[in-house]
Structure 1
Amino acid sequence: MDGVAAPTTGTLPTILCCLCGTAITSNPSNMCVSCIRGQVDITESIPKTASIYYCKGCARYLQPPKHWVACELESKELLTICIKKLKGLNKVKLIDAGFRWTEPHSRRIHVRLLVQKEVFQNTILQQEFVVEFVVDYQQCDMCQRDAADLDEWQAVVQVRQKVQHKRTFLYLEQLIIKHSAHEDTVGIKVHPDGLDFYFMHRSQGIRFTSFLNHVVPIRSKQADHLVSHDANSNTYRYKYTFSVEILPICKDDLVVLPPKVATHLGGIGPLVLVTKVSQALTIIDPFTLQTAELAAALYWRYPFQALMSIKQATEFFIMDVEKSEDRKGKWCLADATAARSVDYGSNDNQHFIRTHIGNFLRPGDLALGYDIGNAVYNDNLLAGHKKLELPDFVIFKRTYSKKNRSKRRMWRLKRLNMELDESMVDTGSHKRVPMDPIAKMAAEQEEFMQDLEQDKDLRSTINIYKDPKRIQPAGGTDMDVDEGAQPKPVKQVVAAAEDGEEEEDEEYPEVPIEELLEGLVLEDEPGAPAPVPGEDEQEEE
């Protein structure tokens, strides 16, 4: 009919390929699929061969830059490592990936990849290809440390502190474990005045020294000596020694500040107590509650020694406490009536002592203090103070009766894997040794653990772990729990006390179960660090 258009079919025009002349549907490239694939390679920016590193000692693969992952062949973890090794994948779209089977002993891994990319306007090309990975052997850092000889070290950090006890070192050991600062060590040796940490590289020793500088007040110096020299290649091999000296003042020490130091700290003291050891010393005047922080740089400019340390402390029995209104934080001035424990009950000697721990003392408590009136000390420590009058007594800490509390302890501390230096081991000589070093270290460790139980602030800075030998699951085991019985509280799930054992103090502080962490590996399990000898023997006595 006139004026009506005839219907048309929706067919696309057909053209000839500009290269091979094949009839194709019209597209922006004017080429068939075969010619597009021959002219354009969307995988040209992706390498077809690569290398991955495998440690035969622990069966782990390297995930750059330095993370080692345990993977099985044809696993998702291994496929992730292989794909991350390829550069240029960000220019294409990854559709699929998988493995192609190869002989396990061939040290070859074939990964099949399917990618897409837009090559022309509205023209998307999809291509599949295979990447071959060559497995190269390389030892991981952990296996290097296990296989390395201690004599092959390149850097050693010698940490020393010239004091009579190891309280600071025991605290430093826990900080090292908490922050994993010992992971690069190839060996740790115990010396009479400190520890030696051995490393395979100089940079590791520098990093460890920097860590020490952030947790304890120190000063350090570096030395090196030539081990070998190859004149043909002009290469040198050195061994580096980092000497680190910790400030010889510890927590609870009684010190007399030099006049210049006291003036620099705002006129504090000069007789002060050390309440905390960190990057700087926190001190307090026990008679005015004035506090200050003594930096390591200021101490080394005007060095001094402690007037008395905790080894010289005397135990007192508190008979009465009268608190004053002078308070500062947790400190409170108080007038205490006390008698030395050795005198209490045998004579009527009583002493009126001004103390700063009034909030922590009650009549009937035991406390540690310094008997300055009967002490013997060097007069040079008072140099510069002509009219200084020292008090007869200074009380600094509440204490408890001395008992073996390890049998009821539900927690443990991780220890570094250390070995004693040859000079500390008895070789059969007739040289007189004041005390067995192993027994001394075990006794100091027990004192440190009791300090943790009594000081909540000290516990908050380190990691304390549940002892799986003492704490059992809530339901117990099949052998010790009857059917229908209620689970015992954690405090009751402890090794039963033997007949005749002394009763525990009701007021003695216990570490709350909420502060304990999981994950402690005991020394009798494979791969666990060995503690200092003598610790377990003391608990089993």
Structure 2
Amino acid sequence: MADGMAVADMFTVHHTVGRVLCCMCGVSMAPNAANMCVACLRSQVDITEDLQKHVTILYCPECERYLQPPRTWVKAQLESKELLTFCIKRLKNLTKVRLVDAGFIWTEPHSKRLKVKLKIQKEVVNGAILEQAYVVEYTVDDHMCDKCTRVAANPDQWIAKVQLRQKVDHKRTFFFLEQLIIKHQASSQCINIKQMHDGVDFFYSNRSHAIKFVDFLNNVVPIKFRNDKQLVSHDTHSNTYNYKFTFSVEICPVCRDDLVCLPQKVAASLGNIGPLVLCMRVSNNLMLLDPNTLRYAYHDCNQYWRVPYKALLSHKQLVEYIVLDVEAEPAISIGSNRFSQAHVQVARVSDFGKNDTIFTVKTHIGHLLSPGDHALGYDLYGANTNDMEMDKYKGLVLPDVVLVKKSYEETRQRKRGRARPWKLKSLAMEIDPAAATKQEEQKRAMEYERFLEELEEDPEMRSKIALYKDPNYVPGSETASMIDGEQPPSVPLDELLADLRLEGESRADSDEDEDMDED
């Protein structure tokens, strides 16, 4: 066996690599396409000649992010992969060479300098590939990003302001509108939000941002607006003017569940509906329903402001009734809502033990009521209505009661004050001192609780906003203790979203996006 291997070695030809002399300096070297050693190649060719050696980058010291032109801000830690990628992307003409390796060279953290060592390859003389390392120095300049500038801005520096108002004595519309603004991120360009006694003011650093916000409001609520401008300064040399723009936006005062007496002209244009109608839905138009005939009509925003009208009775005048008897007819569907006409015998809860007054009324919610239930309605029998439009109808017979919706007040009183498994986000608002009184805070808290209860009762209303799971919620035994009576509506868990928030994300970032069913 050993003899065979020896014979094989005798016939094996061993190849040796030849060496040549460098044509420039005569040093022995391995042959290459240029016939020059590495030192001579580098003396003749510099592959880093057209590459940047000094770059200036912008850094926001407030949020610790770097500007990726034109307007993207990237968050990265010192000597991280993200920062290295950002630095390499800032280099021009790097595509003309092949990047082999890159890494940071340590610098003092407060020196405002970043040094990156790059190793590149490039084809040079006669196809020879030359590899070379060089250092790029980045100068870090402090520059606040737009978001941090808006946060730190003085409110007096605003360019455009949107004054949102509604001439009603409640905040139900603003609660729902706030959730729509958060969902659609409509306030992302706002530099400040101020809650006033009768509305909300939105401040912007650009007029176009204010116009965009007004367009959003016009798509979700029936509004009318006017815009004015005030001269701030004028440069006569360059003929430039600086203005402050103000957009006054007024929301329709008719809200959901309001009872309305339509003007004769409006009733005629809507097919002689009513004239007593209930407002069932508010988006960029009004859905009006005649509870006696189940006829309905959509009143366009522009048509409303041509002949405006107010509510005859609002939700604060709702009276609680107890249902004694129900004779319901088959239910019908109108859009996403179901209605059933019924004759119902009701009595005021406040009359129990005082008198035996019973009302027989016609209602549109017969499919929801059963004997023994409670319902909320408008008491026209004892109400003192002073409406000029109603006086124009000769011979108009008013019903004693107009039922609006089923009431869960009796069962809700036991659960009121307990935590819910869901929560809503809110906008970061500055509260005006005139609206920060103790009485106003108590009124706002009470109205907000009513708004949350309306969300639990209305699935269509919930579908237009975002509800989030409350991580601090601890399930209790409240449902087990309520064995008597019907359970009030609640929000199904499958409708809740997980409240995901990235590390370092501010509340303003997370609180920042059709059709609106307000109130």
Bin of the TM-score, shorter chain as denominator length:
0.7 to 0.9
Give the count of matched residue pairs: 487
* Distance change (3 Å), C-alpha of 1:308 and 1:50: same
Distance in 2 of aligned mates of 1:69 and 1:158: 34
Per-residue CA distance 1:162-189 (angstroms, 9 max, x = gap): 1121110111112222333334434332
Shift of 1:252: 0.8
Distance in 2 of aligned mates of 1:422 and 1:509: 37
> What does 1:365-404 correspond to in 2, within 5 Å?
365-382=373-390, 385-386=393-394, 388-401=396-409, 403=413
> What does 1:160-175 correspond to in 2, within 5 Å?
160-175=165-180
Aligned residue for 2:185, secondary structure, equals coil
> Is residue 215 of structure 1 aligned with residue 223 of structure 2?
no
Aligned residue for 1:164, secondary structure, equals coil
**1:242 aligns to what?**
247
Which of 166, 178, 187 is equivalent to 2:183? 178
Distance in 1 of aligned mates of 2:483 and 2:246: 51
Please tell me the residue identity of whatever aligns with 1:464: L
Please tell me the residue identity of whatever aligns with 2:343: D
Per-residue CA distance 1:72-110 (angstroms, 9 max, x = gap): 211112122222323444455443322122222221112
Which of 45, 53, 61 is equivalent to 1:48? 53
**1:436 aligns to what?**
439
- Name the % identity: 49
Distance in 2 of aligned mates of 1:90 and 1:316: 78
Distance in 2 of aligned mates of 1:407 and 1:461: 25
Distance in 2 of aligned mates of 1:263 and 1:24: 101
Distance in 2 of aligned mates of 1:332 and 1:46: 78
Distance in 1 of aligned mates of 2:212 and 2:181: 12
Aligned residue for 1:106, secondary structure, equals coil
Aligned residue for 1:391, secondary structure, equals coil
Which of 392, 401, 407 is equivalent to 2:417? 407
**1:341 aligns to what?**
349
Say whether the 8 Å CA contact 1:258–1:383 is kept in structure 2. no
> Is residue 460 of structure 1 aligned with residue 463 of structure 2?
yes
Please tell me the residue identity of whatever aligns with 1:437: E
Distance in 1 of aligned mates of 2:443 and 2:468: 24
Distance in 2 of aligned mates of 1:118 and 1:293: 73
**2:449 aligns to what?**
446
Distance in 2 of aligned mates of 1:206 and 1:92: 48
Aligned residue for 1:352, secondary structure, equals strand
* Distance change (3 Å), C-alpha of 1:210 and 1:134: farther
Per-residue CA distance 1:335-369 (angstroms, 9 max, x = gap): 22211222244333222222222232222111111
Distance in 2 of aligned mates of 1:352 and 1:239: 59
> What does 1:249-288 correspond to in 2, within 5 Å?
249-265=254-270, 268-288=273-293
Per-residue CA distance 1:266-291 (angstroms, 9 max, x = gap): 55444322222223223333233344
Please tell me the residue identity of whatever aligns with 2:209: Q
Shift of 1:245: 0.9
Which runs of no fewer than 5 residues in structure 2 stay unpaired?
A: 1-12, 509-519
Distance in 1 of aligned mates of 2:56 and 2:441: 50
Distance in 1 of aligned mates of 2:52 and 2:300: 56
Say whether the 8 Å CA contact 1:17–1:24 is kept in structure 2. no
Distance in 1 of aligned mates of 2:489 and 2:181: 26
Aligned residue for 1:342, secondary structure, equals helix
Shift of 1:70: 3.4
> Is residue 104 of structure 1 aligned with residue 109 of structure 2?
yes
Per-residue CA distance 1:95-128 (angstroms, 9 max, x = gap): 3322122222221112233345567997655554
The worse-fitting range, judged by mean Cα deviation, of 310-319 and 134-143 is 134-143
Per-residue CA distance 1:394-451 (angstroms, 9 max, x = gap): 211111226274432323333333343344466xxxxxxxx92222112211211221
Shift of 1:161: 0.4
**2:490 aligns to what?**
510
Which of 340, 345, 359 is equivalent to 1:332? 340
**2:367 aligns to what?**
359
**2:477 aligns to what?**
492
Say whether the 8 Å CA contact 1:224–1:239 is kept in structure 2. yes
Distance in 1 of aligned mates of 2:19 and 2:54: 41
Aligned residue for 1:307, secondary structure, equals strand
TM-score normalised according to structure 1 size: 0.77
Say whether the 8 Å CA contact 1:414–1:520 is kept in structure 2. no
TM-score normalised according to structure 2 size: 0.80
Say whether the 8 Å CA contact 1:12–1:26 is kept in structure 2. no
Please tell me the residue identity of whatever aligns with 2:161: V
Q: Which has the higher contact order (CA 8 A, sep 6+)?
A: 2
Distance in 2 of aligned mates of 1:269 and 1:10: 106
Aligned residue for 2:79, secondary structure, equals coil
Which runs of no fewer than 5 residues in structure 1 stay unpaired?
A: 1-7, 427-434, 473-489, 530-541
Aligned residue for 1:198, secondary structure, equals strand
Say whether the 8 Å CA contact 2:164–2:249 is kept in structure 1. yes
Please tell me the residue identity of whatever aligns with 1:515: E
> What does 1:107-256 correspond to in 2, within 5 Å?
107-116=112-121, 126-231=131-236, 234-256=239-261
Say whether the 8 Å CA contact 2:346–2:358 is kept in structure 1. yes
**1:296 aligns to what?**
301
Distance in 2 of aligned mates of 1:37 and 1:292: 84
